[in-house]
Chains A and B, each alone.
Chain A
């Protein structure tokens, strides 16, 4: 099974069911890297400060919230740690609703909940009870420091957790049909048409034809045509560690020399200067 992205427990009245969370869906879009078109090297993104004209390391970055154009309030890690996060490793079931009550627009991402060792029994109990009653549970869960509303429902013998958008994240529709009058005759024609296309939902019938065409194109290119290869000499991934260490020691020593306190000119005994290996 894939790697669990979260572990904790479902809290359901007096019962606590230890579970792990696995992604239920994945997108299979083909992804690309951006290359420099003249030499084929993978382009590096640089965090750049236009004021100081320097590259900015992560350690010098801080999150800023733009509350007015060009005006920021900054938030530190400590600030974030202060935020209340009650349901840290707990999925707290708060209510049960009928499964048809939640409009699909609220569904964000789907995950499978799998029972931990020895939690199969209470897990199965919750699953069966929801199945029989046709119910979905509402709960909260904290994933990656963000508390989210979620729905928990039975699906094909497993419990699925759907993260939900909060109501203020769902936009109101701006469709206005006041000027469109529909006659009964037109409606009958529409019914006939719909009836012709009516069939059960079989997702296996549908493929991502764009992705298939793209994969074919890539394969064709690999078969000898127009393959761009990054120049090996400039492969930034190959790091000569010894060289990096040499530079780091040299830099540290230079730093040392810049200090007012010079090192004493004493000599070390020649024997100890040799690099010795442990013999055992």
Chain B
């Protein structure tokens, strides 16, 4: 029922976006949402891959919403906004005060300024399109959720007042351990100080490392999920029962990182200094921290071709390349194949039990 309604709502929004006007007030689930500058190019395109305008972005978000929104449920998010497109300036937005009526927010303590602030939780199409209207291209979500159900009922839902309260709360218990593989292998065409650009050789090496990590985790009886970052790297997610806090999750990731680093010292680095990372794949285990985030599945990225972060199956890994998945090509794949990450949280694994250290409680 809810699904059918969502579908007709999406069709309705797509119809409204088909109007030729450069600005239009969308009616989304009974809310008025003015959207402007629809013809503004946000991605310039690269090679054979064509660019995309803000209208393309809003159409994309509407089409992938049924697959994307479940990955955002109950998670505080932040977005990187590119008001002048991906070639212009960008900024990171964490706090939203005030947010529109249709958007859910949650108040969370921030140790940085020792006060509470409102974070956005994006749970409906209206919120997603509102972010699109603000050129919030890259969507980042926390690895933990505000909802303790179903595997951590009993954990606190008090996120405000102090660092200690937040540390006791369910937001300190991630749903997955993430392995962020980021090749610092330069193509030679980058300017000084620029990040490495996407190229085949670097991606092939990153793929090799991902397969090795999967093999190691499989040896421990663990199932891992993989997606392209949408830029140069790969993200591996290991869904876990929430009784490891971020410190424990990070230390698991660090142990795996150092293990593969010892195995392949010429290929893998855990170094923070960009200079020492050069020529290697940076295994960023520190991502496993409260308040850190990666681009969510299906989030558009800042690559000129309008690539998106795409969950893939392990069998596909050999064949795919990050630019295969763009704002233009991804919706068709999803509509044909569905979300290959669907049901991921239902397959969470009990690491404490597996390692024989028991549950924390």
Contact with B along A216-260 (1 / 0, CB 8 A): 000000000000000000000001011011101111110110011
Instruction: Check A74 for interface membership: any CB of B closer than 8 A.
Output: no
Q: Is the CB of B347 within 8 A of A145?
A: no
Instruction: Check A272 for interface membership: any CB of B closer than 8 A.
Output: yes
Q: Is the CB of A268 within 8 A of B154?
A: yes
Summed over the interface, the residue pairs from A and B with CB atoms below 8 Å come to a total of: 127
Q: Is the CB of A269 within 8 A of B150?
A: yes
The one of A77, A241, A245, A276 in contact with B348, judged by C-beta atoms closer than 8 angstroms, is: A276
Expressed in whole angstroms, the minimum distance between the Cβ of B213 and any Cβ of chain A is: 11
Q: Is the CB of A239 within 8 A of B262?
A: yes
The one of B188, B252, B344, B349 in contact with A249, judged by C-beta atoms closer than 8 angstroms, is: B252
Q: Is the CB of A275 within 8 A of B247?
A: no
User: Interface centre among B192, B255, B256, by most A CB within 10 Å?
Assistant: B255
Contact with B along A260-279 (1 / 0, CB 8 A): 11011111110011111111
> Among the listed stretches B46-54, B87-95, B303-311, B352-360, which one makes contact with chain A, having 4 or more residues with CB under 8 Å of it?
B352-360
CA distance A279 to B248 in the complex (A): 27
Q: Is the CB of A253 within 8 A of B360?
A: yes
Instruction: Check B273 for interface membership: any CB of A closer than 8 A.
Output: yes
Q: Is the CB of B357 within 8 A of A250?
A: yes
CA distance A261 to B252 in the complex (A): 22
Closest to A255 in B: B247
Q: Is the CB of A264 within 8 A of B151?
A: no
Residues of chain B lying within 8 A (CB to CB) of residue A89: 188
Instruction: Check B99 for interface membership: any CB of A closer than 8 A.
Output: no
Interface size class of B (residues with CB under 8 A): 35 or more
Instruction: Check A80 for interface membership: any CB of B closer than 8 A.
Output: yes
Residues of chain A lying within 8 A (CB to CB) of residue B245: 252, 256
Q: Is the CB of B164 within 8 A of A261?
A: yes
Q: Is the CB of A77 within 8 A of B273?
A: yes
Instruction: Check A7 for interface membership: any CB of B closer than 8 A.
Output: yes
CA distance A279 to B349 in the complex (A): 13
Instruction: Check A8 for interface membership: any CB of B closer than 8 A.
Output: yes
CA distance A246 to B358 in the complex (A): 10
Instruction: Check A81 for interface membership: any CB of B closer than 8 A.
Output: yes
Instruction: Check B351 for interface membership: any CB of A closer than 8 A.
Output: yes
Closest to B191 in A: A88
Instruction: Check A209 for interface membership: any CB of B closer than 8 A.
Output: no
Instruction: Check A100 for interface membership: any CB of B closer than 8 A.
Output: no
Residues of chain B lying within 8 A (CB to CB) of residue A273: 241, 350, 353, 359
Closest to B275 in A: A77
User: Interface centre among B188, B262, B344, by most A CB within 10 Å?
Assistant: B188
Expressed in whole angstroms, the minimum distance between the Cβ of A93 and any Cβ of chain B is: 18
The one of B216, B221, B356 in contact with A241, judged by C-beta atoms closer than 8 angstroms, is: B216
Instruction: Check A33 for interface membership: any CB of B closer than 8 A.
Output: no
The one of B219, B223, B275, B361 in contact with A263, judged by C-beta atoms closer than 8 angstroms, is: B361
The one of A145, A250, A272, A277 in contact with B223, judged by C-beta atoms closer than 8 angstroms, is: A277
Instruction: Check B12 for interface membership: any CB of A closer than 8 A.
Output: no
Instruction: Check A280 for interface membership: any CB of B closer than 8 A.
Output: yes
Residues of chain A lying within 8 A (CB to CB) of residue B255: 241, 244-245, 248
Q: Is the CB of A81 within 8 A of B361?
A: no
Closest to A90 in B: B188
Q: Is the CB of B275 within 8 A of A81?
A: yes
Expressed in whole angstroms, the minimum distance between the Cβ of A191 and any Cβ of chain B is: 54
Instruction: Check B220 for interface membership: any CB of A closer than 8 A.
Output: yes
Closest to B344 in A: A278
Residues of chain A lying within 8 A (CB to CB) of residue B276: 77
Residues of chain A lying within 8 A (CB to CB) of residue B104: none
Q: Is the CB of B251 within 8 A of A241?
A: no
Instruction: Check B9 for interface membership: any CB of A closer than 8 A.
Output: no
Expressed in whole angstroms, the minimum distance between the Cβ of A242 and any Cβ of chain B is: 6
Q: Is the CB of A260 within 8 A of B164?
A: yes
The one of B188, B223, B248, B259 in contact with A244, judged by C-beta atoms closer than 8 angstroms, is: B259
The one of A249, A256, A266 in contact with B154, judged by C-beta atoms closer than 8 angstroms, is: A266
Interface residues of A (CB under 8 A from B): 7-8, 18, 77, 80-81, 85, 88-89, 145, 239, 241-242, 244-246, 248-253, 255-256, 259-261, 263-269, 272-280
Extra pairs beyond A85-B192, A267-B361 (5, CB < 8 Å): A8-B188, A77-B275, A239-B262, A256-B360, A273-B350
Query: What are 13 A-B residue pairs whose CB atoms fall within 8 Å in the complex?
Result: A77-B274, A77-B275, A81-B275, A89-B188, A145-B275, A239-B262, A241-B255, A245-B220, A246-B355, A252-B248, A255-B247, A272-B150, A276-B349
